[in-house]
Structure 1
């Protein structure tokens, strides 16, 4: 038999010391005694405190990466939450702003419609309400298109009013639409009456005036009694506009020593821009009495009996 295979341990006959079962019983009893003694008399508290004091730096170092990761996650989570809340707040503010704007538009429209109804009751019960669809495509004219035409009974020459006063006149009628020429158009003229003095004149459109367009009283003598702030109303002598409708206010009076006429600039009462609802009146010529028949010619002298 090779020497390397020989068993070098002593035979069991010569083994010394307690058996494994005895050692297990001894250690179990010792462990039980220590647990009872520690529970009753706190024998190991100093040892635990010493071990905890020694291991605290190691525990602190080991916990730093975990705490750093938690703080980073909390920071990014709070940033994302704040961004989401800010986005929701901006969306709510936008929705509220739209609602406020719509409420303002509805309130303005309601005010305009009430004023139009009052004006309709005072001017002509048969007035036709219409809505401005869009402005005319010609940039050199001041005209708008309304959504009433021949099928609604609109006639050429019909006066057009907004809630403040005279806006213009219908100059073209289509089956479903009508074209309205504003008073500030260069080709538009309207007979007016000075409400303060009772003097009659004619106001012409002036689209190049300040504030987007105005009107001008032409061929007024230099000594005419016209003051800034005078109200001009329709005179009614043209057979188109009913008398007494507000037209414009006198804005500026220019008297020149080298001219026999005074230049008078006026601001229309009606809104030339942004108007939406208007009234179409029948031409006043329908309400005028018929023209009387001319008298018969006198009989000729020396005629046959």
Structure 2
């Protein structure tokens, strides 16, 4: 076969087209043009929508195992939490049941003694349920907002309690909401009584310092009979809180030789940081008969005490 008839062109595998740099510049310019065109004219938006619609079932199927594992973990975690809450609720229910039986017996004995001594019955404290909406915006006070106001008959000064004890007092009433100042606020004070000794004192809010969110019994003598664990209840002498409501427990007693007063810190019984449902009671002063007014005697003068 003559050599002149052979095809001297290189095979397709060895054929060279445009250089790699030329291809890079062309495709980069094309990509830049497409990005600008897509940004200005949204030309690929229908294509994206179509691709997303087509791929959605695939994405849904691919996410099923992940969501199943996540839901299983959340289920077991919530199950353990629910079991722990149920156990705590059963213990508290048993304690409340025992206390209710004791209170019923004591109430019966109290009623018999009052009838024997011809004393008036204790004042009842009707109330209504409310829900905590949010905390007050002022960071220097301890207040919450509830969903009951003047339209529901809430009065300024009404005591507010939760399932564990005294939460605070209504300090401002609006038509549909009310502002409740918590007992741990620095401006709040409440007369209390030590159930072990019967001694009366006043608990003040202590929202700052090392004992933030606690109560402090002030003006107590250094040798006062107060011990950690003593239960403090409302004394009922202020005309606001009914007597016998749990307020707090003594947590720490500091007796110093250089001071005639003891530093007594108490932990509130109510959930001052997490209350959701509360009870608003009527102030005791609203049920007490008004103080009689001295009527002037003949001649316009009020007679002095001890003289006719």
TM bucket (normalised to shorter chain) is 0.5 to 0.7
**2:258 is aligned with 1:265:** no
Partner of 2:292: 292
**How far off its partner does 1:92 sit?**
3.2
Question: What is the distance in 2 between the residues matched to 1:192 and 1:126?
Answer: 21
Contact 1:124 1:281 in 2 (8 A): no
Partner of 1:74: none
TM-score normalised to the size of structure 2?
A: 0.61
What secondary structure, in the 3-state scheme, does the structure 2 residue paired with 1:164 have?
Answer: coil
Partner of 2:278: 278
Partner of 1:89: 68
**How far off its partner does 1:193 sit?**
0.7
Quickly say closer, same or farther: Cα 1:93–1:144, change in 2 above 3 A. Answer: same
Question: What is the distance in 1 between the residues matched to 2:254 and 2:293?
Answer: 45
Per-residue CA shift, 1:5-47, capped at 9, x if unaligned?
xxxxxxxxxxxxxxxxxxxxxxxxxxxxxxxxxxxxxxxxxxx
**How far off its partner does 1:124 sit?**
5.0
The two structures, once aligned, show a CA RMSD in angstroms of: 3.6
**How far off its partner does 1:297 sit?**
1.1
Partner of 1:180: 180
**How far off its partner does 1:83 sit?**
6.6
**How far off its partner does 1:211 sit?**
6.9
Question: What is the distance in 1 between the residues matched to 2:220 and 2:253?
Answer: 11
Gaps spanning 5+ residues in structure 2: where?
Answer: 1-58, 101-106, 108-122, 296-301
Contact 1:128 1:279 in 2 (8 A): yes
**How far off its partner does 1:269 sit?**
0.5
**How far off its partner does 1:156 sit?**
0.3
Quickly say closer, same or farther: Cα 1:156–1:257, change in 2 above 3 A. Answer: same
Higher-Rg structure is 1
Alignment of 1:95-134 (within 5 A): 96=75, 100=79, 126-134=126-134
Quickly say closer, same or farther: Cα 1:102–1:133, change in 2 above 3 A. Answer: farther
Partner of 2:167: 167
Question: What is the distance in 2 between the residues matched to 1:143 and 1:277?
Answer: 15
Contact 2:145 2:180 in 1 (8 A): yes
Gaps spanning 5+ residues in structure 1: where?
Answer: 1-79
Partner of 1:34: none
